[in-house]
């Protein structure tokens, strides 16, 4: 019996990087994982790996910027499962790369806010009722250390993550006395991801922690026995 046996989990950004690693780990721990990502091929490869290891996955090809489709996914999940136990918002957008604030074009600015803020708001709105149906609903969202200071060229990305943190901690405060929900943020620190490679192209990814190395924190926050709530968990 895994630590998440019998639980239903949804993971965004599941086709690569941290999202992929978390989806695989949740499945290995016994959860049935709804894997959300834009890339069909990446999801199919993930499904093959999860199935080969004896896990269960449901593939959900979805561009999170198609906000109304998030509601459709929630409705379909209610019909199939009647609840959601775990929500992991991992997908992120760096906003076209690093540049001075005045050089970021409107398209990339909007994409970053759409993925990092608005999509997560829509996830909260759509899945809050299903998480409350669970006997131990758990939600976690990935943030970044760039919210802890002032970092030139990271302004748009930092602004989206600051907004996400405020939104998530406010949601946590709103439900603390009226539900069994536990809601937290995770700052994964430095990890060898595609986003990291874009930001630091000269860095050797082999010298960095890999996505599979940091999944324990996600499992701990997803467990029914987790008592942490409204916190930011740092992985270092």
Phi and psi for 95 in degrees, rounded to 5? 75, 40
122-145 mean pLDDT: 98
Read off the pLDDT of residues 34-80 as tens digits, 9 standing for 90 and up: 999 999 999 999 999 999 999 999 999 999 999 999 999 999 999 99
Structure confidence at residue 95 as a pLDDT band (50, 70, 90): confident
222-236 mean pLDDT: 97
pLDDT for 1 beyond 80: no
Structure confidence at residue 10 as a pLDDT band (50, 70, 90): very high
Domains and CATH numbers, the chain: 8-234 (3.40.50.720)
Residue 42 has what pLDDT? 96
Residue 138 has what pLDDT? 98
DSSP 76: H
Among 69, 70, 34, 37, smallest CA distance to 55 is for 34
pLDDT for 97 beyond 90: no
209-233 mean pLDDT: 98
174-186 mean pLDDT: 97
Catalytic residues: 157
Residue 149 has what pLDDT? 93
Structure confidence at residue 96 as a pLDDT band (50, 70, 90): confident
In angstroms, rounded to a whole number, what is the distance separating the alpha carbons of residues 105 and 94?
13
Handedness of CA 219, 223, 69, 143 (dihedral sign): negative
Place of tokens 């996830």: 123
182-193 mean pLDDT: 97
Residue 89 has what pLDDT? 98
108-112 mean pLDDT: 96
Read off the pLDDT of residues 145-170 as tens digits, 9 standing for 90 and up: 999 999 999 999 999 999 999 999 99
Structure confidence at residue 219 as a pLDDT band (50, 70, 90): very high
23-31 mean pLDDT: 98
pTM as predicted:
0.97
Among 8, 36, 32, 6, smallest CA distance to 20 is for 36
Beta carbons of 213 and 230 less than 8 angstroms apart: no
Average per-residue pLDDT for the chain: 96
Beta carbons of 29 and 4 less than 8 angstroms apart: yes
């Amino acid at each position: 019996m895994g630590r998440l046996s019998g639980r239903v989990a949804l993971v965004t950004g599941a086709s690569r990087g941290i999202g992929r690693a978390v989806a695989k780990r949740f499945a290995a721990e016994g959860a049935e994982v709804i894997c959300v990502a834009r890339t069909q091929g990446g999801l199919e490869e993930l499904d093959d790996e999860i199935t080969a290891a004896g896990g269960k996955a449901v593939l959900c090809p979805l561009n999170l910027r198609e906000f109304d489709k998030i509601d459709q996914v929630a409705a379909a999940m209610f019909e199939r499962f009647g609840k959601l136990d775990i929500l992991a918002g991992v997908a992120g957008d760096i906003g076209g790369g690093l540049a001075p604030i005045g050089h970021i074009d409107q398209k990339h600015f909007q994409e970053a806010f759409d993925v990092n803020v608005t999509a997560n708001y829509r996830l909260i709105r759509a899945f809050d009722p299903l998480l409350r149906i669970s006997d131990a609903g758990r939600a976690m969202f990935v943030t970044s250390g760039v919210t802890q200071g002032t970092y030139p060229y990271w302004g748009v990305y930092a602004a989206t993550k600051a907004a996400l943190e405020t939104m998530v901690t406010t949601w946590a405060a709103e439900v603390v006395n009226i539900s069994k929900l536990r809601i937290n943020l995770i700052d994964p620190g430095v990890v060898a991801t595609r986003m990291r490679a874009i930001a630091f192209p000269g860095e050797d990814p082999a010298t960095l922690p890999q996505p599979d190395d940091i999944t324990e924190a996600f499992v701990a926050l997803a467990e029914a026995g987790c008592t942490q709530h409204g916190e930011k968990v740092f992985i270092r």
